[in-house]
Each structure stands twice: as C-alpha cells, then as structure tokens.
C-alpha cells in the first residue's frame, strides 16, 4: 500500500549527526543507551529497507532504483542503481551474502517486481513482474537463501502472495491464505510487514491490524486480530518480528496522525496479542527489530522501533521505553547482532546502532 505522507519528513543529515551523538552519550551516561554512528551511504535517495547478512555485509534499498551495500560493517558503502529500474521504489531487500541479494520494488501493476544479483550488484536479473494493473506488492522475507514469501495488497478478496522454493521462480499461493477484507493489504514502509522464523513459520501484518500466520511454509494460514487500530487507510499494523516460534512483537499506528504509535506482543505464535506500554514515537512505527539479549539481567529481549517522527528502544519488549534522541526520519532498522545494527532513512542516511555487552 502506497504511503501518502502527510507528515513532513525533514532530513537532518548534517546537524542531525551532532544531535544523535549527543543523545547517545547522554543515554550511555545513564547506563542504558546504545552507541549511534552516522555512516555515508553514497546516495541521497531515501532508503526504506535494510538487511544485514552479518557484522560486515549489509544491503539496503530505496527510491530511484537504488541499492547500497557494504562489506566492511559500514566503514564504506557502495551505491548503485539497477538498470531499467531507475523510477522504481525498492521498498524491501534481502541480503544473502556479499554477492547474492534480492530486491522488491513496490509499485502499481508492472512496477511491482523482484530482482536478484549473484555478483554483488554488478548485474541484476528480474525474476518476477506483476501483470495485473491493480497489483501492489509490499514486502518479502526468506527462510533460507532460496525459500521466501512475498506479500501483496488484497485483490478481489484474495492476497496475491508469492512463494519461491528455489530462489529463481515464484509461484502464486493466493488460494492458501485467508480472504482479504475490502481494501486490506500491508504497508510497504520498511520491508518488515512479513517476518519468517525457523524453517516454516511466517507472519504477515496487515492494514486491518490483523496477523496472518503459517507454520508450514505457506501451505495453510490463520488470521488473528491484534489490538492495534487499523482499516482506515493510514492506520494498521506496519511491522512484525518474532524472536522464536512463540514470542513476537507487532508495531503500527497512524502515519497521518499526531497521536502515539503502538506495539503489542504475543507469546503464543501470534494467536493472541497484548498492548505494551506506549512507545515514545508519534504517528506510526514503520519498522522494528529484535536486538537479541545483550544483558543477563534483562527481563525480556531488546527491541528497536523507528518511524518518520522518531525512534526508541526497549530492553523488555515494551514494558519500559527509551527515546533515541534526535533520531527522526528513519524508516527501517535491522540487526546482525547486539553490536551491529543499522537504521536507514531519508536523504540516504544510515545510522549504525550498537549495544555493548554489560
């Protein structure tokens, strides 16, 4: 679903770095905050998705057919544009290695496409292009380098989702999913409207604040309600992540609103959800990611959430929250490990976020 922003997103590329570092130092002085380090992506196009392979190799993607990749943990980034995709918006990316990655362009009709590189971004092969003029694909996620799933906005009462089992061809699995409500889809905000875990589990967050869940790699699905507000066109569940087969978190809100964003957690594989304490983020959370445990005394797992209006983190899955001062305009976040995470956003900005062991 296209995000028609009614919120002014001002890039703070230069002045922001000082504010971010000062905020990080303040949080660290309080004994709880991460280190935040701005990095140079090599592009000024908005970046909307990020996919760390490990602490060294990270892929990100965005507008203008843009992808960026680093092989040294972000010390240097290489930016490129996929030939023939200059007008596309790569709203999702999946990194596999320093040579292999997938890109998903979210757009109307034939602008929804999947590309793959096997030579580090030197060349790209288009694997899929939507044929229905009303199609709009939002995000994808992978269980393995060759097994993945794609979520699309509902069409004629069905989610036109796709699946690959060989990393090359994509099959239609729309008949496997629950019916789609009128105008129900997902938000192509940060590439995290789909989450995979283990060998066969996956969850999809929808604009109607539902979670669609499978435990058999997409053969069968169930739909579950969350307590988030949805179904208005600008509000719903935007992003979902699971740290194991049972425990997960979903984030959302209303990207056109000025009220607080919301998160909810599940401990039964997504069947039931409970609102957490309110995160200190206005509007909607576009992306979130588990950090993994970084302290033996923590009650739960750490999570970082981000959206155009701000970012925050929690060490206990939403019971207590800490603002990341000065961090605005970042759409996506992902971690390779506690000390190696990245936020990406407007004007090509990339921010490395590191939680040190305590």
- Structural domain range at position 222: 15-354
In a domain, 228, yes or no: yes
Closest CA to 11 of 352, 346, 351: 346
The pLDDT of residue 293: 52
Q: What is the pLDDT of residues 65-79, one digit of tens each?
A: 999 999 999 999 999
Evaluate whether 79 touches 68 at the Cβ level (below 8 Å).
Answer: yes
Rounded Cα distance, 263 and 320, in Å: 12
Element containing residue 24 per DSSP (H, E): helix 15-29
For residue 295, how many other CB atoms are within 10 A of its CB?
Answer: 13
Rounded Cα distance, 310 and 285, in Å: 9
Q: What is the pLDDT along the chain (358 residues), one digit of tens a residue?
A: 655 332 323 333 333 443 444 444 334 333 468 999 999 999 999 999 999 999 999 999 999 999 999 999 999 999 999 999 999 999 999 999 999 999 999 999 999 999 999 999 999 999 999 999 999 999 999 999 999 999 999 999 999 999 999 999 999 999 999 999 999 999 999 999 999 999 999 999 999 999 999 999 999 999 999 999 999 999 999 999 999 999 999 999 999 999 999 999 999 999 999 999 999 999 999 999 999 854 444 445 899 999 999 999 999 999 999 999 999 999 999 999 999 999 999 999 999 999 985 4
The pLDDT of residue 292: 81
Strands 322-323 and 340-345: unpaired
Rounded Cα distance, 106 and 278, in Å: 30
**From residue 17, how far is each of 58, 276, 356 by CA, in Å?**
21, 30, 20
Q: What is the mean pLDDT of the chain?
A: 91
Q: Edge-to-edge, what's the strand order for the sheet holding 194-197?
A: 194-197, 201-205, 210-214, 222-225
In a domain, 3, yes or no: no
Rounded Cα distance, 70 and 94, in Å: 14
Q: Give 304-350 as a 3 state SS string.
A: EEEECCEEEEECCCCCCCEECCCCCCEEEEEEEECCEEEEEEHHHCE
Burial class (CB in 10 A: 0-12, 13-18, 19+), 312: buried
- Buried b / exposed e across 22-50, counting CB within 10 Å, b at 16+? ebbeebeeeeebbebbbbebbbbbbbbbb
In a domain, 4, yes or no: no
- Total number of domains constituting the chain: 1
Rounded Cα distance, 77 and 46, in Å: 15
For residue 169, how many other CB atoms are within 10 A of its CB?
Answer: 11
In a domain, 231, yes or no: yes
For residue 200, how many other CB atoms are within 10 A of its CB?
Answer: 15
Q: Domain holding 44: CATH number?
A: 2.130.10.10
State the DSSP code for 269: T
In the chain, the N- to C-terminal Cα span, in Å, equals: 41
In a domain, 253, yes or no: yes
């Amino acid at each position: 679903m296209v995000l028609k922003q009614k919120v002014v997103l001002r890039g703070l590329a230069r002045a922001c770095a000082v504010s971010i570092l000062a905020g990080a130092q303040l949080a660290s002085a309080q004994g709880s905050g991460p280190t935040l380090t701005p990095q140079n992506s090599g592009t000024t196009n908005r970046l909307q998705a990020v996919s760390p392979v490990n602490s060294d190799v990270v892929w990100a993607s965005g507008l203008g057919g843009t992808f960026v990749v680093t092989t040294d943990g972000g010390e240097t980034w290489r930016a490129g544009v996929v030939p023939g995709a200059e007008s596309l918006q790569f709203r999702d990316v999946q990194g596999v290695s320093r040579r292999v990655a997938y890109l998903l362009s979210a757009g109307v009709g034939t602008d929804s496409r999947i590309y793959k590189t096997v030579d580090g971004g030197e060349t790209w092969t288009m694997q899929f292009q939507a044929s229905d003029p009303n199609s709009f694909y939002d995000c994808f996620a992978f269980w393995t380098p060759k097994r993945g799933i794609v979520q699309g906005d509902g069409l004629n009462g069905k989610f036109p989702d796709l699946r690959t089992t060989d990393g090359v061809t994509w099959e239609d699995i729309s008949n496997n999913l629950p019916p789609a409500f009128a105008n129900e889809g997902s938000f192509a905000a940060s590439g995290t409207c789909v989450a995979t875990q283990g060998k066969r589990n996956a969850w999809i967050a929808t604009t109607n604040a539902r979670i669609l869940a499978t435990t058999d790699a997409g053969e069968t699905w169930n739909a579950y309600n969350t307590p988030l507000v949805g179904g208005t066109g600008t509000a719903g569940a935007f992003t979902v992540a699971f740290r194991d087969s049972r425990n997960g978190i979903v984030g959302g809100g209303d990207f056109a609103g000025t009220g607080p964003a919301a998160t909810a957690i599940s401990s039964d594989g997504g069947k039931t959800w409970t609102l957490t304490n309110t995160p200190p983020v206005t509007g909607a959370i576009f992306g979130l990611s588990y950090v993994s445990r970084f302290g033996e005394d923590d009650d739960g797992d750490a999570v970082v959430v981000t959206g155009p209006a701000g970012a925050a983190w929690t060490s206990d899955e939403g019971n207590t929250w800490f603002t990341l001062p000065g961090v605005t305009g970042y759409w996506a976040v992902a971690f390779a490990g506690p000390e190696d995470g990245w936020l990406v956003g407007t004007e090509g900005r990339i921010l490395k976020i590191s939680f040190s062991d305590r």
